[in-house]
Structure 1
């Protein structure tokens, strides 16, 4: 049958509409498929508490810190020395001396060598700060605070402590850095526990000691079922009672947080009291208890005011929220002495795991440490600050 012109027009219109609808549907289907494909290939946000092993090492990391572009650095623990004293991690099982081989020469061989570097922190200006207490050697060396530019590997700051701020027996071993204002807060867990504050601008230091918050509590430190020992007066071994150890700083630099290794309380004090040179009595009045903490070695504070504190007896990390609630973040049998914690990029919290409790200084016997020693990172789900 021959169609009339009007019927032909209607038929053409219907066919064109169908074709347009089919094309639109195909475009929608393609867009949906592309979206699904993108979702399938996009990296998923890690779960809170997710653990990744960054490095498995034949040497013992002491403290670890990560830069804003993902570089990882660590001191080598003076209780289990290796061929170098400070490293940059270059792979799962590889590292290079940091800042160079000269600074990693034989400990005690000169003024410009790393003797017993311990705490390490990278600030916002890409400077790696390291506290070198110089102990655990046949001949202890004077303590010093150093900073190296991580890009040029050059020394950019040095402070040599005198006998007032770094007395005999000191163990200046953890630090928090306010690079913007120019202050470094150092925890000394030695026989006379103290917070030592270095004014970078003036290259001066002052020591705050004698307060109960700095002292160890009479609580047993038990790891892998064994109560730990520690050298006391005259080098005699006794129950481990270690004073102020972890120390951190708030995101705005206005609050210093700290606690003892053998302690169940986390404290704070206004940083301005140290910056303004307040008397010891005024600093003492400014100290308050923030909340509970586990028996710990290291800690980090995120941008929101949450605290992440290593838990030595339970092989993990706890979170003390900004509201004062203490709860577990991680429990893992590999976390055999989670030594320190510092944030890297995003919400990744970097942790050195070094089996320190198996070392003779805590056992009075032979070293039972078994390589590899680990650098791990944990996703906290909170905003961190690289290096802090």
Structure 2
């Protein structure tokens, strides 16, 4: 797989790099994570240092500390594109060189998003006019269906993180069924790696093209994958009620998303037919090594950003809710961005806004043998742009948390 050729930036002191005239601190590397092997309840658990999916491999550094990584953001005028720009303002090595937005071509980015007017950024250009000769990596924030052919036309040496749904489903026939048209780059689909960072870390590290997960699938798979792999929950009767802020629908003008349409209410949508269902089931089936089918209902709630997934599961024979909690705690105990709350504390979306964190907790249900797991993320950060930066850090051999240590914004 081709690696990028990077242009070295001016040397900087260890741990510090100047950006836009401001001296910013770089982040410490993420620790590894702890994974329980499959265990029987009541027996001591054996813990080994590993990712959720596979044992660690030695990381080969592609980028040296202080080297500049030149970034293109395609589809920069949408919410995820703007969030990429906000996050990279605090990244000591990722510097934006190209930004595209066909309908806003020729405009300054600060005129499209005034809250980012302080950033020194190139003007927006149409995708067809973008020059990738001075670029090392691409964040593709374009709508699904348009991304496949554009990525197919990009230079092969570029590292790419695609935030659309175009490369998330391995089965191109399943993609055609759920998205209404045939896949236009099946050869790239075979190459793409699914980018659920904490689960597929080793595969992402060695990838050229990463399919960034959807927001609902991120909030759901992070708690469920370890429990399924450890055979602590039954595979049938998984019921998920999830709620998302309005930014999850994108920035395009839609009548259904007008303030008067969504205010003072909660709105179920995509009932039995939401396009994230096959993505979720693909990840859970991989963990189970057998087909998993879920009951999933998404809801639009009148807030700008945030996502909560309430997951109802039936536990395996002899397993308690505390066993689920302890397994998730040990699995994610060394992780930077996935945190188990203590005791009866309930995760709330307002406690993760603006951050790359996923907060979760486990609760015993009133129905014997069942448990509830509540998982919250910011749909624009851990559910999209933050996870994309996390993935590109891995792909470039950089500390996974670099540029992502924004704390949640509260109140």
Calculate the TM-score normalised by the size of structure 1: 0.30
Q: Whose radius of gyration is greater, 1 or 2?
A: 1
> By percentage of residues, which structure has more strand?
1
Which one scores higher on RCO, CA 8 angstroms, separation ≥ 6?
A: 2
> By percentage of residues, which structure has more helix?
2
Calculate the TM-score normalised by the size of structure 2: 0.29
